[in-house]
Structure 1
Amino acid sequence: MAQKQEWLYEIKPKGKLIDLNLVEIWSYRDLLVLFIKRDIVTVYKQTILGPLWFLIQPLFTSVVFTLVFNEVAGIDNGAIPNFLFNLTGLTLWSYFKESLNATSNTFKSNAGLFGKVYFPRFIAPASKVLSGLFKFGIQLLILIIFYVYYAVNGMEVRPSFYLILLPIVILNVILLAMGIGMILSAFTTKYRDLSILIGFGLNLVMYLSAVMYSMEAAQDKLKDYYWAVEWNPLAHIIESYRTIWFDNLEIHWTGIYVGLGLGLMLFFIGLVVFNKTEKTFIDTV
């Protein structure tokens, strides 16, 4: 009697709404590492300044924000240096923006690869978010350098005890960016111009996300329109990120609670949409 053959891998249709097979993803970990290396190396390949763009973008943007919002608009950040205040918000916002952009374009940018070989599709957006941590780490290092510079020069800047919550705040951003991104990825397979709308929309959302001002300043300046910032979960996450960096600011627990709760909910909804879309996207992309 012939023995039943055991297969190393078995490809079969997905029967679950949420099918995050961690065992299978782990078996493809080498591919995940390869994708992460590819994303890091190819972004600024054949450019003059290369990885220096990681530093130039947030620094120049922080200078512009300092001139426009603090010097011209008169937003006061108290004892915190305006440049450092803006740079802090920009580091986290940049990571969110690029993670969401990359995740939302998963099917469109990987259509050729998805149509030829099989691997867990979740690896593609995960690699984008994880490779983004490399850039975020460099920008975080620049933030620390300026942080130390201002502290040495007598400015009242010191980290809060709650800085140990930094990984949780970053996890908030990852969950939120991947959740929204995976939902949007389903629509970009059918409507190509949605990618343009996402980029344009993110530029507008930045001004409602407490990147270059505090929630308190927004309430004071916007008054009747403050609800647009108050109901933006990303504004609360960025505010919580900033308060753990500066001890003279009160810890913003709302951002941490809202970020985790909403992030987990959107992440699971995104997985459902992502799993459903990957079955048929090749017919429409």
Structure 2
Amino acid sequence: MNNDKNTIQDSDWLYEISSEKKLLDFNFKEIWRYKDLLILFVKRDIVTVYKQTVLGPLWFLIQPLFTSVIFTLVFNNVANIQTGQVPSFLFNLAGITAWTYFRECLTGTSGTFTKNAGIFGKVYFPRVIMPMSVTISNLLKLAIQLSIFAGFYIYFVASGRDISPNANLILFPAYVFIMGTTGLGLGMILSAMTTKYRDLSVLVTFGVQLLMYLSAVPFPLTEILEKKPEYFWVFKYNPLAQIIEGFRYMTLDTGLFTWWGFFYALGFSLVVFFIGLAIFNRTEKNFIDTV
């Protein structure tokens, strides 16, 4: 009897679950082992959001279209902001399409701990899978909205508008990566903070709206540079403004693109992701006591 017990104790465990992990631990092997769960969460995020709504997935189309129309009326027709050869509606739709992906990644991951406390308190799985699933599921929304953008793009080209993408279009996957990584990193930071300060969830919604204007979504950076150059530094050092401007530049061949801005946004996304991962890993050890 004792021999069998010693044999069991001396044998190697197949898997070992421990709260001790490095702050920057991103265990790809463990995440791959739970890939089925990741896929399940991705499906859940896609299906449940609009499952009991009247219009369902059509909201993916309605939101950017209506926002683009409002921006065109307010900023281009009333405020007389010029977009050059590019139709104002298409210009706004490009910025909103890129911004929406970042916003959805940020807001969707910012409540990871508070929204999933019931699941986290009952079963073990790599917690980082939850915010990852949000970022991945939002790729489907991005694809749908990009198809709408492509449809209007073709329409304006067929109407004789002088618009075309440029060689920077090969950077499209990089920009998607930067937007997703930045939203995921900031979301993990906020998710950790909201475990102690619940009112932050309200501030996130309000702050994201303000951040949209500071990221030059409804207007080109050239307008700021020409009319208010003293405030241009605010947008120059905002990595989100560099992302939005770069996205419009590669698709519409308009705007201010610099390699400095591209690598600045890329570096910022990686730094904020690793900071968010460190804070996320630290919080997951004892968050259940404060939620």
- Residue of structure 2 in register with 1:106 after alignment: 112
1:17 Cα offset (Å): 1.5
CA distance in 1, matches of 2:206, 2:12: 51
Q: 1:138 aligns with which of 138, 144, 149?
A: 144
Q: Equivalent residue for 1:202?
A: 208
For 2:131 and 2:123, locate their aligned partners in 1 and report how far apart those are by CA, in whole Å: 16
Asked if the contact 1:243/1:252 (under 8 Å) is kept, the reply is no
Q: Displacement, 1:252?
A: 3.5
Match of 1:189 in 2: 195
Shift of 1:210: 1.2
| CA deviation string 1:223-281 (max 9, x = no partner) | 33333322311001110111010235564323321111111111111111000000010
| One-letter amino acid matched to 1:280 | N
The whole-number CA distance in structure 2 between the counterparts of 1:60 and 1:248 is: 23
The one-letter code sitting in structure 1 at the alignment partner of 2:200 is L
3-state SS in 1 of match to 2:51: coil
Deviation at 1:162, TM superposition (A): 1.3
Following superposition of structure 1 onto structure 2, how do residues 81-230 of structure 1 map, counting pairs within 5 Å? 81-230=87-236
Segment drifting more, 247-256 vs 205-214: 247-256
User: 4+ runs of 1 displaced by more than 4 Å?
Assistant: none
Correspondence for 1:238:
244
**AA in 2 matched with 1:261:** G
Runs of 5+ in structure 1 lacking a partner? none
1:67 matched residue in structure 2:
73
Q: Distance in 2 between matches of 1:13 and 1:197?
A: 31
- Separation (CA, whole Å) in 2 of partners of 1:69 and 1:46: 35
The code of the aligned residue for 2:58 comes to L
Structure 2 CA distance for partners of 1:84 and 1:150, relative to 1, 3 Å: same
In structure 2, runs of 5+ residues without a counterpart are none
What is the TM-score of this pair, normalised by structure 2? 0.94
2: distance between equivalents of 1:252 and 1:238?
13
What's the Cα RMSD here? Answer: 1.3
Shift of 1:215: 1.1
1:46 to 24, 28, 52: 52
SS of 2:52 mapped into structure 1:
coil
Among all aligned residue pairs of Structure 1 and Structure 2, give the percentage whose two residues are the same amino acid.
Answer: 55
Q: Match for residue 258 of structure 1?
A: 264
d(CA) in 2 for partners of 1:175, 1:252? 20
Query: Hey, what's the Cα distance between the residues in 2 that align with 1:73 and 1:52?
Result: 30
| 8 Å contact kept, 1:238–1:255 | no
Q: Is the 8 A contact 2:61 2:144 kept in 1?
A: yes
For 1:182 and 1:203, locate their aligned partners in 2 and report how far apart those are by CA, in whole Å. 19
Q: Write the distance in 1 (CA, Å) between the matches of 2:187 and 2:68.
A: 26
8 Å Cα contact 2:121-2:288 kept in structure 1: yes
Q: Which has more radius of gyration?
A: 2
TM score, norm. by length of structure 1: 0.96
Matched positions, count: 285
Corresponding residue of 2:35: 29
Aligned partner of 1:102: which letter?
G
Which AA in structure 2 matches 1:220? E
Cα distance in structure 1, aligned partners of 2:68 and 2:215: 15
Deviates more, 1:34-43 or 1:167-176: 167-176
